[in-house]
């Protein structure tokens, strides 16, 4: 067998340029498959880590997906708000540990503005129950203080101490700006890979203050309340968009949920974030399957390439194989020779592709993070990725056996003298 | 003494052909004999060689190599027996282009223990390979060169050295001179015939070239012994379509 190995090696070296192309094509498909799989799984991780440690999200009665979309992902807007009275009633519920009210609707240069309480910075959790951290400054304390997410700061070049103005409504082009009441950035949050990065946080009272002289989405004509005078008014919010709720005991979650949905003063609903996230993922998971199908096709095409490259080289190898037969290599040797080569070429290609994928993730992840907010992490292959690598190896080996079998049949029919 | 090679009542028809290609009553090759097997193209020479070398198996009758009937051996056993006792020279393209000249000569010793052992009587297989190459008139400077760097004539001589390493009882040469010009042809025959004599290997030399017939002690005209060729239609030489 060692004789065969050395011949296989010399023969392969003789055809190294063709084989290098094959290795490259396998490496590229490995790279693509692993890359797509990594993006797919991390997309899902990023998604499901958007909120954690919150037992219930309470909002006006609507679809659970819609409530999740606007309260967690800042997508779309609430059809109805919930009254401050209801928030207070919720806080008074014996099962409830804490409530973080959320008020949405304004924006700053395309980023959502979230008005909330200071409790947000201690109670909100993402990922594996990680708390928010400030990479600069401190949480808001004064009325016109703002804390910006990491991406807001990076994209707009913000630092602590800068002044910003908010716009009414959402979108990049806002005519109605709260220019008379500028905010001071007092803190920048560390990156989380969640929608928090793309949010400007202010206090609930500040949200109330900038809308004192507004009515129905427009400044009231003839009324202007300057920033220095707003403190004279009652800045308790009249209503909020949604509330994050933590329970003293998670076992009470369905009892509190029922209490919320049967609350008589207004129509409310409470959702379990994990369940709602799964429901939402089922909807957008179609894209995930498309990604997976695409990478499968990529692998198929490159394996077809492998087969055709080996097939094309086969005529050239017919003589070689019949010489080997004439000096005593059996048909089994011939088959082994081709299988060894196919197996090694596939192995090298897959290894090379894996290295490429690791390098690619290392190089591209800061850019992906900045551009798409997608946090890719390096790490050992996941079980899914091991499975992918194994099936690539198996498929590559089988694909290289196809030309091997053809060569075997040719060699059987040629006898000792090839008819070329 | 037993013949190195003996064929009896040999009949072979290619799959899909109507008429047999080979129909031979009796053909024997004795030890050390140099047989010139000739005939026009299409008279079944290549098919007969495949039958003699055990690459093809007869439909009826039998071919015995040193008393072993090819038909009774399994495919793998035929491969082993062939390399142990038969050296083979093709018309051309005999060598693995990526191996050195000497490694090409040593190939049968890699696959056959018997050839290796017999070659070791000269010291080592490498020693015999060098001795054979020298006998073939190939300069020592060429031995380590890749086979593809050699001229066609030199390549055929390397192939002859390879066929003879480990003293196989039989050397089969399938038109080995057809790619050579006259001078090279004579030189090649000189070294091949004298090497076969030294190593007491029987030689079955197939050619349609009558000019070299005089160099051989025994002539066999294939159409004279092959009844299938005498009936003289092209079906006799029809070959199976490539799969």
Determine contact, residues B100/B144, Cβ cutoff 8 Å.
yes
| Domain annotation covers residue B243 | no
- Interface residues of A toward B, Cβ cutoff 8 Å, are 3, 7, 10-11, 13-14, 319-320, 322-333, 409-410, 413, 415-419
More confident residue, B229 or B177: B177
| CB proximity B99 to A under 8 Å | yes
Joined tokens for residue A66: 């819609």
From the list A3, A13, A409, the residue facing B110 with the nearest CB is A3
From the list A3, A323, A333, the residue facing B95 with the nearest CB is A323
Joined tokens for residue A16: 């190294």
Joined tokens for residue A81: 């708000």
Half-sphere exposure of A15 (CA within 13 A, CB side): 21
| CB proximity B92 to A under 8 Å | no
pLDDT at site A289: 80
Instruction: With CB atoms and an 8 Å threshold, state whether B111 touches A333.
Output: yes
pLDDT string in tens for chain A (420-residue length)? 567 778 888 888 888 888 888 888 888 888 888 888 888 887 777 777 788 888 999 999 888 888 888 888 888 777 788 999 999 999 999 989 999 999 988 888 888 899 999 899 988 888 777 888 898 889 988 889 999 999 899 889 999 999 998 888 765 555 677 878 889 999 999 888 788 888 999 999 888 888 887 776 677 777 777 777 777 788 888 889 999 999 998 888 999 999 999 988 889 999 998 888 888 888 777 887 887 788 778 778 777 776 776 677 677 777 788 788 878 887 788 888 888 888 888 899 999 999 999 898 888 877 776 666 666 777 777 888 888 888 888 888 887 777 777 777 776 666 666 554
Q: Which candidate, B129, B136, B138, places its Cα nearest to that of B189?
A: B136
Residues of A in contact with B95 (CB under 8 A): 323
User: What ipTM, to 2 d.p.?
Assistant: 0.81
Q: How far is CA A382 from CA A387, A391, B54, in A?
A: 9, 14, 54
How many angstroms separate the CA atoms of A259 and A257, rounded?
5
| Domain annotation covers residue B91 | yes
How many angstroms separate the CA atoms of B147 and B144, rounded?
9
What average pLDDT does the segment B162-171 reach?
Answer: 91
Instruction: With CB atoms and an 8 Å threshold, state whether A416 touches B53.
Output: yes
| Portion 50-69 of B in contact with A at CB < 8 A | 50, 53, 55-56
Q: What is the CATH number of the domain that holds B215?
A: 3.40.50.300
Instruction: With CB atoms and an 8 Å threshold, state whether A14 touches B97.
Output: yes
Domain that holds residue B52: 5-237
pLDDT at site A299: 74
CB pairs under 8 A between A and B: 82
Number of domains comprising chain B: 1
pLDDT at site A149: 92
Locate the chain A residue with the closest alpha carbon to B56: A415
Joined tokens for residue A222: 């003839």
Locate the chain B residue with the closest alpha carbon to A317: B96
From the list B75, B82, B99, the residue facing A10 with the nearest CB is B99
Joined tokens for residue B148: 């593809």
From the list A320, A328, A409, the residue facing B96 with the nearest CB is A320
How many angstroms separate the CA atoms of B216 and A405, rounded?
42
Instruction: With CB atoms and an 8 Å threshold, state whether A323 touches B96.
Output: yes
Band (B235; pLDDT cuts 50, 70, 90): very low
Q: How far is CA A304 from CA A36, A291, B189, in A?
A: 20, 20, 48
pLDDT in tens, B75-84: 888 888 888 9
From the list B162, B239, B242, the residue facing A327 with the nearest CB is B162
Q: How far is A9 from chain B (nearest CA, A)?
A: 10
Instruction: With CB atoms and an 8 Å threshold, state whether B90 touches A320.
Output: no
Q: Which candidate, A340, A263, A332, places its Cα nearest to that of A96?
A: A263
Number of residues that make up chain B: 243
Euclidean distance between the first and the last CA atom of chain A, given in angstroms as a whole number: 29
How many angstroms separate the CA atoms of B92 and A322, rounded?
12
How many angstroms separate the CA atoms of A99 and A80, rounded?
19
Band (B241; pLDDT cuts 50, 70, 90): very low
| Domain annotation covers residue B242 | no
pLDDT at site B242: 42
Locate the chain B residue with the closest alpha carbon to A330: B79
Instruction: With CB atoms and an 8 Å threshold, state whether B111 touches A328.
Output: yes
How many angstroms separate the CA atoms of B208 and A18, rounded?
39
DSSP chain B: ---SEEEEEEEE--TT-SS-SEEEEEEEE-TT-EEEEE--TTSSHHHHHHHHTTSS--SEEEEEETTEEGGGS-HHHHHHHHHHHEEEE-SS--S-TTSBHHHHHHHHHHH-HHHHHHHHTTSSHHHHHHHHHHHTT--GGGTTSBGGGS-HHHHHHHHHHHHHTT--SEEEEESTTTTS-HHHHHHHHHHHHHHHHHTT-EEEEEES-GGGGGG-SEEEEHHHHBHHHHT--GGGG--PPP-
Q: How far is B9 from chain A (nearest CA, A)?
A: 22
Residues of B in contact with A322 (CB under 8 A): 90
Question: Which residues does residue A107 pair with via DSSP β-bridges, in sequence order?
Answer: A112, A167
How many angstroms separate the CA atoms of A170 and A168, rounded?
7
DSSP A296-330: HHHHHHHHHHHHHHHHHTHHHHHHHHHHHHHTT--
Q: A347 Cβ partners below 8 Å, 6+ apart?
A: A393
Which DSSP helix (H) or strand (E) runs through A56?
A: strand A56-60
What average pLDDT does the segment B79-108 reach?
Answer: 88
From the list B91, B98, B174, the residue facing A11 with the nearest CB is B98
How many angstroms separate the CA atoms of B51 and B44, rounded?
10
User: Helix crossing, A331-372 with A383-414: angle to 10°?
Assistant: 150
Model confidence, pTM: 0.68
Instruction: With CB atoms and an 8 Å threshold, state whether A410 touches B174.
Output: no
DSSP A57-84: EEEESS-HHHHHHHHHS--S--SS-EEH
Question: Which residues does residue A189 pair with via DSSP β-bridges, in sequence order?
Answer: A134
Compute CA A2 distance to the chain's CA centroid, rounded to the nearest angstrom. 49
| Domain annotation covers residue B178 | yes
Residues of A in contact with B52 (CB under 8 A): none
From the list A322, A327, A331, the residue facing B108 with the nearest CB is A327
Compute CA B173 distance to the chain's CA centroid, rounded to the nearest angstrom. 3
Q: How far is B180 from chain A (nearest CA, A)?
A: 18
| Portion 137-176 of B in contact with A at CB < 8 A | 162, 174
Q: What share of chain A is helix, strand, coil (3-state, %, to 5)?
A: 55, 15, 30
Determine contact, residues A302/A349, Cβ cutoff 8 Å.
no
Token match 């990478």: residue?
Answer: A295
**Long-range contacts of residues A59-64, Cβ cutoff 8 Å, at least 24 apart:** A59/A241, A59/A242, A59/A243, A59/A268, A59/A269, A59/A271, A60/A266, A60/A267, A60/A268, A60/A269, A61/A261, A61/A267, A61/A268, A61/A269, A62/A269, A64/A269, A64/A271, A64/A275, A64/A276, A64/A279
Q: Which candidate, A63, A52, A91, places its Cα nearest to that of A283?
A: A63
The domains of chain A are located at: 2-47+285-414, 51-280
Buried b (16+ CB within 10 A) or exposed e, A333-366: bbbbbbbbbbebbbebbbbbbbebbbebbeeebe
Residues of B in contact with A330 (CB under 8 A): 75-76, 79-80
């Amino acid at each position: 067998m060692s004789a065969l190995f050395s011949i296989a090696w010399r023969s392969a070296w003789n055809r190294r340029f063709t084989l290098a192309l094959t290795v490259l094509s396998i490496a590229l498909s490995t790279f693509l498959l692993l890359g797509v799989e990594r993006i797919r799984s991390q997309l899902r991780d990023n998604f499901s880590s958007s909120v954690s440690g919150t037992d219930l999200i309470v909002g006006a009665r609507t679809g659970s997906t819609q409530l999740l979309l606007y309260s967690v992902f800042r997508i779309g807007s609430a059809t109805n708000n919930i009254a401050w009275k209801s928030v207070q009633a919720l806080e008074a519920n014996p099962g409830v540990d804490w409530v973080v009210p959320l008020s949405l609707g304004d924006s700053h240069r395309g980023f959502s503005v979230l008005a909330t309480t200071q409790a947000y910075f201690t109670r909100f959790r993402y990922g594996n129950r990680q708390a928010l951290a400030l990479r600069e400054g401190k949480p808001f304390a004064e009325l016109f203080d703002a804390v910006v997410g990491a991406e807001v700061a990076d994209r707009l070049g913000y630092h602590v101490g800068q002044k910003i103005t908010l716009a009414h409504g959402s979108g990049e082009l806002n005519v109605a700006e709260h220019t008379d009441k500028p905010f001071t950035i007092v803190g920048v949050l560390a990156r989380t890979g969640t929608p928090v990065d793309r949010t400007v946080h202010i206090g609930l009272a500040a949200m109330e203050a900038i809308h004192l002289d507004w009515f129905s989405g427009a400044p009231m004509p003839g009324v202007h309340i300057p920033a220095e005078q707003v403190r004279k008014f009652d800045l308790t919010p009249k209503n909020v968009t949604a509330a994050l709720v933590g329970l003293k005991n998670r076992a009470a979650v369905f009892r509190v949920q029922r209490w919320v949905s049967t609350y008589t003063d207004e129509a409310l609903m409470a959702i379990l974030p994990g369940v709602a996230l799964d429901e939402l993922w089922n909807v957008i998971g179609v894209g995930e399957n498309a990604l997976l199908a695409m990478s499968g096709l990529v692998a198929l095409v490159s394996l077809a390439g492998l087969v055709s490259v080996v097939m094309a080289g086969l005529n050239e190898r017919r003589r070689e194989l019949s010489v080997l037969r004439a000096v005593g290599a059996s048909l089994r040797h011939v088959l082994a020779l081709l299988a060894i080569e196919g197996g090694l070429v596939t192995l090298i290609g897959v290894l090379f592709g894996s290295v490429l994928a690791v390098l690619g993730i290392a190089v591209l992840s800061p850019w992906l993070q900045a551009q798409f907010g997608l946090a890719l992490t390096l790490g050992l292959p996941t079980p899914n990725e091991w499975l992918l690598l194994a099936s690539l190896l198996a498929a590559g080996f089988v694909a290289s056996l196809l030309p091997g079998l053809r060569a075997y049949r040719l060699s059987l029919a040629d006898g000792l003298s090839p008819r070329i | 003494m037993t013949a190195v090679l003996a064929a009896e009542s040999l009949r072979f028809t290619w799959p899909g052909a109507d008429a047999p290609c080979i129909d031979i009553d009796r053909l024997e090759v004795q030890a050390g004999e140099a047989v010139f097997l000739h005939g026009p193209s299409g008279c079944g020479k290549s098919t007969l060689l495949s039958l003699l070398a055990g690459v093809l198996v007869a439909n009826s009758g039998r071919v015995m190599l040193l008393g072993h009937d090819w038909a009774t051996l399994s495919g793998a056993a035929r491969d082993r027996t062939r390399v142990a006792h038969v050296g083979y020279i093709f018309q051309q393209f005999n060598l693995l282009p990526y191996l050195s000249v000497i490694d090409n000569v040593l190939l049968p010793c890699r696959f056959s223990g018997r050839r290796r052992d017999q070659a070791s009587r000269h010291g080592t297989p490498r020693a015999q390979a060098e001795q054979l190459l020298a006998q073939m008139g190939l300069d020592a400077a060429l031995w380590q060169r890749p086979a593809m760097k050699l001229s066609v004539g030199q390549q055929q001589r390397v192939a002859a050295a390879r066929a003879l390493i480990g003293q196989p009882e039989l050397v089969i040469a399938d038109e080995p001179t057809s790619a050579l010009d006259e001078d090279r042809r004579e030189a090649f025959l000189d070294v091949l015939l004298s090497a076969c004599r030294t190593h007491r290997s029987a030689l079955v030399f197939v050619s349609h070239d009558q000019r070299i017939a005089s160099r051989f002690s025994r002539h066999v005209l294939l159409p004279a012994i092959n009844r299938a060729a005498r009936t003289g239609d092209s079906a006799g030489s029809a070959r199976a379509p490539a799969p």
